[in-house]
Amino acid sequence: MKVFQVAVWVLAVGLVSFSGHVSGQVKLSYPPWKRSDLNCSYDDSAMVTDPALICTPKSDGKAIIFSYDNDVLAVRYAYTKPVRLYRKGTRYATSFATSFVVDIRRDIERSVRRVFGGSWAFAITPDQLTRNAGPESIGLFPIDINTGKPLPGPSPRTVAVEIDTSREQNNWDFPVLPHLGIDVNSLKSVKVDYLWNQTAFVRRKVGYFVDYDAKTEVMQVRVQNITSNGKLNKRNSKLWLTYPKFKLSDHVNEYSIVGFSSRVPVTDDGTYDLYAWNFETKEVLTNKMH
């Protein structure tokens, strides 16, 4: 009887320990923006008691407005539950497709000035911690300001697709601003390309599509210039980046957080407005162990 009780207790503990994880197919679609699903975290130095002051729902509920009244601030906005991206020790891995619409709302002269903040990125990370690691970091992890690489220590286990709009450091061999990049455990992108001129880029809705095929190990990023009344439509997007021979499981945790990371601007200088986010996964059998 005691053995049976112990076995039941161990099983119960196991269920509890994984209850916060999502192992099956994930399908997210916002708006409506559900506070129970999405967590707004930010650097502790802000001393803010209500996250809604930084990740602010628009009055009509159609967007989340990102900014901070007092200073440029590292902010994360992510799905609360870790998502399974592969099955460790097996050949099963997860393909995913995500899309989002963001409007960089600021004056043209703010495009290349540190005062406006930093980039906006879709990010896959090991946790939801926000690290104020300087103006080039997007709040993801501490970096060497001269190279964009992480500081010595454990791997950040982070992959991001960044929209780089405001850079103070100019020696990373990047194209002129703004540009789109795929970052793998570094803020110096492994794949990067210029977007388009600042006048066409700011103060308009732009859609981004990020697709990862776990079987072919290819990540692709597409961009859609959306009209004021338009919506996300992949058929109207243009392929911008392709990164082949990319085994995601080598670079991120089995269970990872998905969402966005940024250094958001001072409210008087502008805002980042997120109008839509979709994320969907599919587990597939690959020909490699993970």
Contacts of 163 (CB under 8 A, 6+ apart): 102, 104, 119, 120, 121, 178, 180, 195, 206, 208
163 within some domain: yes
32 within some domain: no
CATH classification of the domain holding 122: 2.60.120.200
Confidence of residue 114 (pLDDT cuts 50, 70, 90): very low
Confidence of residue 47 (pLDDT cuts 50, 70, 90): confident
- Could you tell me the pTM of the whole model? 0.86
109 within some domain: yes
pLDDT tens digit sequence for 165-200: 765 555 555 666 677 889 999 888 899 887 876 556
19 within some domain: no
> Structural domain of residue 70, as residue ranges?
40-285
Contacts of 109 (CB under 8 A, 6+ apart): none
Q: What is the mean pLDDT of residues 201-227?
A: 91
3-state SS string for the chain = CHHHHHHHHHHHHHHHHCCCCECCCCEEEECCCCCCCEEEEECHHHCCCCHHHCEEECCCCCCEEECECCCCEEEEEEECCCEECECCCCCEEEEEEEEEEEEEEECHHHHHCHHHCCCEEEEEECCCCCCCCCCCCCCCCCECCCCCCECCCCCCCCEEEEEECCCCCCCCCCCCCCEEEEEECCCCCCEEEECCCHHHHCCCEEEEEEEEECCCCEEEEEEEECCCCCCCCHHHCEEEEEECCCCHHHCCCCEEEEEEEEEECEHHHEEEEEEEEEEEEEEEECCCCC
132 within some domain: yes
156 within some domain: yes
> What average pLDDT does the chain have?
82
60 within some domain: yes
Confidence of residue 213 (pLDDT cuts 50, 70, 90): very high
Closest CA to 156 of 253, 75, 86, 77: 253
pLDDT tens digit sequence for 5-43: 333 333 333 333 344 666 678 999 999 999 899 999 988
pLDDT tens digit sequence for 49-104: 788 889 999 989 999 999 888 888 889 999 999 999 999 999 999 999 999 999 88
23 within some domain: no
Confidence of residue 207 (pLDDT cuts 50, 70, 90): very high
Q: How many domains does the chain fold into? A: 1
